[in-house]
Every structure is written in C-alpha cells, then in structure tokens.
Structure 1
Amino acid sequence: MTQIDLRYVSGRTNKSGKTLYYWHRRGFPLTRLYGDLQSLELAEQATKLNLAADGGGLKPAGDTVQDAEPARKNSIGWLIDDYLASNTFASKAERTRDDYRYYLGQIKEMFGDAPIRDLEPPEGRVFIYRFINRFADKPRKGNHFRALFSVICSHALLINKLKSNPVDGVPQLSTKPRQQFWTFEQEETFLATCDDEMIQLAFMLGAYTAQREGDLLAMVWSQFDARENTLALRQNKTGARLLVPVHRTLRASLDRTPRQGLTILTTRSGKPFREDYFRHRWRDAILQAGLDGLRFQDLRRTAVVRLAEAGCTDPEIAAITGHSLERTRQILETYLPRTPEMARNAMAKWESKPGTRV
C-alpha cells in the first residue's frame, strides 16, 4: 500500500470563509485539490502528485495534473498552457523553466479564467501596472511577475492573440542591489564551525570557482582534470563553456574528498543533492556559524571582488566567472571597496611605469 504523502499541501480561505486546499511545490504549477484535508480523496491526489514529481513522471508544463480541467480556449490559462508547450519554453535552461513554471502557475491560478483580450492595452497595461505595484514591499517578486507577464504577452503576439505587449511602458519596481559579500574573517568562522564536510566543500567550490549553485551541485568528478588542475564546465544558465583553473585552496579540499558518487557534492548516501535538501543543510551550517544573512549566491559575487583585489583585469575575471564584461564591470562598480591600500598600489604602478618623471 502506498504511504500517504501530504507534502506541499496548504489551505487558503476564500472570501466566503471556505478553506480550499492546494498542492504548491516550487517548479510546478499551483494545483487545486478537491476534498477535505482529512479525506482520502485529497490524500490520494497529493500522494499521486508527489510520487510523480519525485520520480520525474509529472510533466509540469501547465497542463498540470491528469484530472485537472483543461483551460478554456483564449483564456489567460490557455495562453500559459500554450506557451509552456512551445519550443521557446523548452529551449530555456532547466532552472529558468522551473522559475517560469512557479510564477506562471501563480498567474494562472489568479487570472487563468480571464480572457486574453483583457490584456490588450491600454486597459491591460493599467491592470498589469496595478498588479505589479501590489509588490512594492517585495520588488524582486513583483519584477518577476512583470517579466513573466511580458513573456506570455509576447507569445500572445506571436500567435495573433494580442496586437501589442501591454507590459511595454510598465516600469520595473525599484530594487536595491544586494550588498552582502563574504569577508575572510567570515569565511574562517564558517569553516571553523561547520562540521559538515560536504557543505565545507560546497563553500570551497563556490568561493574559489565563482560558479552558480546549480552548476556546482551538478558537477561530476570527470569535469575535474587533476593533471591539468582545471574544472571544465558548461554553465546551465548561459550555456557558456569555461575551463577554470583550480585554486590551490580548493585543490587541497578536492584531494582529500573521497569519491562517493558520480557528482563531486553528494549526500551521505552518495547521491546527488536535490536543491532543496542542499539549501536545508547549508542553512543549518550558516546558523551554526552565526552568519545569518549570508547566502551561498554571495560567494560568486565575493569571488569577483577578490579577483579584482588581486589585480585581475575584467576580461580575466570574466574568463573564470562566465559573466559578460559589462556585468563584470557592474559588479565591481557596485561592490569593489575603494581602500587606501588600492590607492597606494595604483600610485606605485603609476610611478613604476617607464617614462614616468621622478
């Protein structure tokens, strides 16, 4: 008998006071469940969804679950389904597809029954503007919704369901760039307090390769050439192919790590990390170190700053991180501290240049 699995089930109370239940798992559309929380009917639906999602059998492409009613043609829900079934969506990186499904699932839940024509400017532009501004206190989330509205409206243009994109002219919400980066003192504290060897290695990979979390979790041992002392990778988000020299600090960590599985980073059973499980263990280590507020993604930014402080040029930094030159300069402009030591180094280089008057 299959064990009942109620993970990702939550209730929401509507205006009439009735509680409706949903299956809400990141990377998959928000799905309405039918029945009471104590009913066998609801339990079977949730268990079926979790089994399918865990095993890769659930196709989270907007057509959601087998017993879901198809979206009415020419509705916003139908438009979302049509986009998620397109080659344009299929060509996106896996992480991008997961993010798209998450936000489009919420848009479909809120506005799926509305006709596409309601998005036609100028009324559609006003509607999207007002909706996005509901997230003034969470501007990044609001801008994600704005971007996904633009995506499906662009798709509507392609299939001749809209005459223009209503998102054009809707300004993004103002956001402040994230300022956090790791100091060497924080690095020492984290490594000294962390007793999880895989999380320590994950830190080293993040801090000394400047790569994204997803690429590091997927990295296999065959990408590490011990003789050439390099890591070869293709970034999932951008498709950029990189050959990253291994920093001696990271090399020491790799050399003492037993190869328990196909991937470099593994769970205690030798299996690849699932993203949510990795973040759970990372979060435990951060709290144990008393460094709440620092994130794994901050390591990539930190590496850019450290490379610049070491005297690397923008093209040299981009060759390691995979950033464009423009993005590299943006990061340095925002985060690179202007210290007296840097000023002294600059003056010393100027004075040592041939032809400089002494």
Structure 2
Amino acid sequence: MTLTEPSALLTDPRVWEIGSLPRSGKSGVVELPRYVHRVTKSRKGREPIVYTFYTRHRNTPEAWPSIALPEPLSPEFGPSVAICAALERNGDAFHLHGTQLPRHSSKEFWPEAHKIAKAKVRRDHHGAKDFTALIEAFQDSPVWAGLSKSTQKGYRQAAGHILDAWAFDMPDDVTTVDAQQTIDGLAETHSTANGFRAFASRLYAWGIPRGYATSNPFAASEKIPGGEPWQPWPDWAFVTLVEHAPFNMLLPAISALFTGQRQTDVLRMLRPKSTDKVMEVRAQKTKNTVWIPIHSAYRTWIEKGKADAVHMHLGVRGAPYKTADGFRAEWQRMMDTKPFKRFRKERIVFHGLRKNAVINLLEVGCTEAQVGAIVNMSEQMVRHYGMEVSSRALARDGMQLLESRWAEVQPAALEREQNTNWKPAVRIGNRWQRSEREE
C-alpha cells in the first residue's frame, strides 16, 4: 500500500532497508512518499552512498530543485517530508506558511524550516500568541477596519517586514535592541524604517492589553533621522506653481495651504456655497469632522473654479477624483516637467503644504489648540511641526530683550571706543599699529 501521511513512514523501520526500497506498492511493501527518490553514488573500492531527495514534478519542465532529506530511518525524516509537501515556490525562493526560507542548499534551510513548522503546529493547536497570530488578530479588529486605505497599505508593508523577521516568535522575546537593529536595517529608506517602527509600536500597543505581550520594545527605539521627506514650501515654489500649474493642480494646493488638510481629504472637499462661512471636512484618517472657517483670500480662489460643481477639486476632464491615485498620477506628471525640476531636486512635495499651514497659523499668534482644531492635528504634532517657528520666535524675543538692556551688559571698552572717533589698526610691515585718532 501507499502511505499518505509522512509520519506513518516511521512506523515500520524494516521497510527502510538502505538501498533496497522497492518503488512499487504491488508487492505489499511501502513505497517512498510522493516526489521522494533515492540516488546511489558509487565509489571505487568503497561502499556506495545513498542520498534521499525531494523533487516535485521530477523529470518535467516544471521540476523543482532537489531538496536533500534526512535518512529515512531518522526521526527527522517524516516531519521533513511533511515540510516539503507544504512548501510553496516563488522563482528560486521557497516559502513555508508564508515565510521565505533560506536557500534550500544552505545549512540554515532545515533548522529554519523545522522552527517554522513547529511554531505553526503550536499556533494552530495550542493558541500560541506569536507575531503571526498578533498581526492576523489586529487586521481582523475594528481598529484596523477604521484605518484609511492608505494607512492600511503602509501597515501591510510594515507587517511584511515583521513577519520576515519574527513570524513565529513570541512578541515578548523581542528586545529593544532587536527592535532598533531591525529599524536600522531598513534605514536606507527613511520612510520605510520609520513606518515600520510606527506600525510595530502601534501593534504592540494594541496587543499588550489582549495578552500578546507585556511590554513594548519599540517605545524606547529611535527614529531614523531625516525620515520626514517633506519640508514647508519656500516662496519660489509658490511662484513656480502659480506660473506653470494648470488650475486642476493649483486649486488643491491652495486648499491644502489654507486648510492644512491631508491630500486625501482635500480631494474629497465639497464646494461651499457663496454664503457659507465655514467648510465641513470629514477626515478619512481620523474619522473626525473638521469645521474650517473660509479665509477671504481662499474664497477668491474657490470662486475661480466651476461654479455649478458639487465637488471643489476636479480632474483634467472636469470630473471629481474617484481616488487619490488619479490626482497623484497627474501631479507626478506635472512634477516631471522642466519648470518643476527644482521641486524634484529639493524634494518639495504636496504634503509640505500642511506644514506651511501650521507655520502660518503659529506665526500670526494662534495657540496650539487653535491650530490643531483647524488642521485636525494633535497639539503634540502641532508643536513638532512648529519647532522652527518656536525657535525663530524665541530668537526674536531674545534679541529684542538684549537690545533693550544692552547698556547693562555691554563691555566697558566697547562703550568707551564708541564715544570717541575710533579708527581701526593698520598693518605696517610685520606689525599692527593703531592709526592716529582724529581730534
């Protein structure tokens, strides 16, 4: 008969007499599992060596690379055959339960494969709360369902990095050192590294009260410097935009400047009536409703748009954007043109307008609470965005104070020299000599 369960192959060791295994079940002897075959290597004057391999689709154009198996009499043989049966192939890479394995010819292949297989059994049959289970539970939660599609997209990428690193490890086994090493390993792309850190920290925060971990190793980890790819737009950027951008690209940028909203929320704005004094915006990311008073200069730009349109921002064909991707594609095509070469060089991006909005509000004296209410941002984030404003304001106030009280602290020598007809020293030969003062 033919056995279908690899573990049953170990029940009768007599059938595994090396080098004499029949391949047919007609004689009543157990045959090798599917895709398993034996190769005998003859050696002159020495005993031949018999190797065991797993080769799926052997002798066909779709044949897989041969994977060396343990000896059939060993305890590892049955589990190893079961692992091979569960493998998936993607090009030259093998995946087991969604995790990529080391090269099949490397010494790390089988230890890692057995680790993943054992963890899968533990997870399926004993309810182990490893990273795979944590991510699956988080993605099935109402918290995940409430996230915007763009946030979910970024989180899925970060979740992939976590699964690559610790798929079947327990969250409490990861230390802050492990967390930082993984962040640093992604540092070539700042946004990827910091996005990974943000997701991992949020994942732990969600998992701790649900029994997946007792502490968050990412809480004390460090961001990769320069991870924010945006900066506030300088004056020349607005000049370029007004001179060269079509109106369907210009108006969304103007809206971002006056309202401080995210690009996705800007594109979903409805056109206010001429009598409206406030715009109502529903934030996709936070699900908050924001009421934004309409600035008089902003209304002038709004009135330049299509008067009978329901949506304020329309695409090149006069229809509202169904998704933000359509706008981003048009924006990128504009950025690829010659007038916007400097934008590309200095990394001026649309999201920087949100920072402009925060800075403008702080510069005119708005409180952090007022700014947060307008741009739909926490006071902590307002402070982060407005650090440059705070530095400039502190420097300006400090210099004004020094100006008003300079007489109290100036060196006496400077005061005496300022009260005379002072002339600088001149160089005569190799020596400096003070010039004669005029009487």
TM-score normalised by the shorter chain: which range applies? 0.5 to 0.7
Of residues 343, 351, 354, the one that matches 1:300 is 354
How far the C-alpha of 1:270 sits from its partner, in A, is 0.9
Instruction: Find out whether 1:256 has 2:307 as its counterpart.
Output: no
How far the C-alpha of 1:337 sits from its partner, in A, is 7.2
Distance 1:174 1:228, change over 3 A: same
Alignment deviations for residues 142-162 of structure 1 (CA, whole Å, 9 cap, x no partner):
232223233434454444344
Instruction: Find out whether 1:171 has 2:243 as its counterpart.
Output: no
Are the aligned partners of 1:76 and 1:111 in contact in 2 as well (CA < 8 Å)? no
- Counting matched residue pairs gives 279
Aligned to 2:386, the other structure's residue is in SS state: helix
- Aligned partner letter, 2:383: R
2-structure distance, mates of 1:308, 1:18: 53
- In the superposition, the TM-score normalised over structure 1's length comes to 0.64
How far the C-alpha of 1:171 sits from its partner, in A, is 1.2
Question: Which residue of 2 is the match for residue 317 of structure 1?
Answer: 371
Are the aligned partners of 2:251 and 2:313 in contact in 1 as well (CA < 8 Å)? yes
Distance 1:19 1:324, change over 3 A: same
Larger radius of gyration: 2
How far the C-alpha of 1:310 sits from its partner, in A, is 3.6
Aligned to 1:338, the other structure's residue is in SS state: helix
- Aligned partner letter, 2:284: N
How far the C-alpha of 1:187 sits from its partner, in A, is 0.6
Alignment deviations for residues 183-212 of structure 1 (CA, whole Å, 9 cap, x no partner):
333212211011x22111111111121111
Aligned to 1:120, the other structure's residue is in SS state: helix
Alignment deviations for residues 60-82 of structure 1 (CA, whole Å, 9 cap, x no partner):
xxxxxxxxxxx963453333222
Farther off after superposition, 168-177 or 127-136: 168-177
Alignment deviations for residues 36-82 of structure 1 (CA, whole Å, 9 cap, x no partner):
xxxxxxxxxxxxxxxxxxxxxxxxxxxxxxxxxxx963453333222
Are the aligned partners of 1:209 and 1:320 in contact in 2 as well (CA < 8 Å)? yes
Quick one: percent identity of the two aligned structures? 20
Higher relative contact order (CA 8 A, sep 6+): 1
2-structure distance, mates of 1:103, 1:138: 13
Distance 1:346 1:244, change over 3 A: farther
2-structure distance, mates of 1:169, 1:202: 36
User: What RMSD in Å do the two structures reach over aligned CA positions?
Assistant: 3.9
Farther off after superposition, 211-220 or 130-139: 130-139
Farther off after superposition, 327-336 or 270-279: 327-336
Of residues 317, 332, 356, the one that matches 2:386 is 332
How far the C-alpha of 1:120 sits from its partner, in A, is 2.8
Aligned to 1:201, the other structure's residue is in SS state: helix
Are the aligned partners of 2:362 and 2:389 in contact in 1 as well (CA < 8 Å)? no
Of residues 275, 288, 299, the one that matches 1:227 is 275
Are the aligned partners of 1:149 and 1:167 in contact in 2 as well (CA < 8 Å)? no
2-structure distance, mates of 1:315, 1:154: 26
Moved over 6 A (4+): 341-347
1-structure distance, mates of 2:308, 2:389: 38
Question: Which residue of 2 is the match for residue 191 of structure 1?
Answer: 242
- Aligned partner letter, 1:76: F
Are the aligned partners of 1:207 and 1:303 in contact in 2 as well (CA < 8 Å)? yes
Of residues 215, 234, 249, the one that matches 2:265 is 215
